[in-house]
A = this chain, B = another copy of it.
Amino acid sequence: MTFLNQSKRQKLHEAIFEAETPLGKFFDILLIAAILASVTVVMLESVGSLDREYGKLFDLLEWIFTILFTLEYLARIASLKKPKFYIQSFYGIIDLLSVLPTYLSLLFTGTQALMVLRIMRLLRIFRVLKLVRFLSEANKLFNALRASMPKIIVFLVGVICINLIVGTLMYIVEGGENGFDSIPRSIYWAIVTMTTVGYGDIAPATVAGQTLASCIMILGYGIIAVPTGIVTSEIHLAKSKLISTEACPACGSEGHESDAKFCKFCGTKM
């Protein structure tokens, strides 16, 4: 599999996989630009009027991008000693899946199948997310999001339970009319309302319904403060408390602050 000599492979590896070196940075910026351009082409293709006029240009561009990304995919494999791990990894599969559709479009001709294939190219957007993550700002944000995810999820489960109950109540109150013609639809309305989105495609028309709607709106407006408070507190604590990972040599207790010189439980010097 290794059809490149040692030094060339290292050079290639540096350009493709490293983000710190000038060569690596240049390659990353080029890659993001190419991905964004190819994603834009896929999107514009979906606009009927543009596709009729510039359809051939879009096809051409798509082939150019596909060949570029195919070369990138092969280069990644060539630059690695053990390409198996890359090929089986999440990004390896994405890279392959986003390139395949254009080749498959030569074989298939059903329009429905083609549309799904075309859109698979949009998977490339995940690559951008990966590259952005190298930025330290994004990294902090990502960590904060991951740290607060369990609490946010529990909060959202609670919100969903409230929506189930309110949606059902609304179905009874509005008597299955004014768009509230089934419980799932009423729950959909409750979610639209409580998250303060408020399309207006379904809106209560009876007095009782509008009163109930007012309650859930005010509830939704008020409890947004709870996840916000918890996340803020979490982030703040993570920043301010520098808990050492060191265990006390005498009593084995953990959770000491990083500035502690003596174990706070047994008084032994640390």
Spell out A's residues near B (CB within 8 Å): 39, 42-44, 46-48, 115-116, 119, 122, 125, 128-129, 132, 135, 137-138, 140-141, 144-145, 148, 150-152, 154-161, 164-165, 168, 171-172, 181-185, 187-188, 191-201, 203, 207, 210-211, 213-214, 217-218, 220-237, 239-240, 251-257, 259-269
Interface of A is mostly: helix
Decide yes or no: A47 and B182 within 8 Å by CB, A196-B197, A199-B203, A233-B236 being known contacts. Answer: yes
CB contact under 8 A between A183 and B46, given known A217-B197, A226-B145: yes
Task: Give the copy number.
Answer: 4
C-alpha spacing A74/B164, complex, angstroms: 27
Asked if A164 meets B39 with Cβ closer than 8 Å, knowing A46-B183, A159-B218, A222-B156, the reply is yes
Q: Measured between C-beta atoms, what is the minimum distance from A151 to chain B in Å?
A: 6
Rounded to whole Å, the gap between the CB of A49 and the closest CB of chain B is 9
Q: Is the CB of A159 within 8 A of B251?
A: no
Nearest B-chain residue to A199, judged by Cβ:
B200
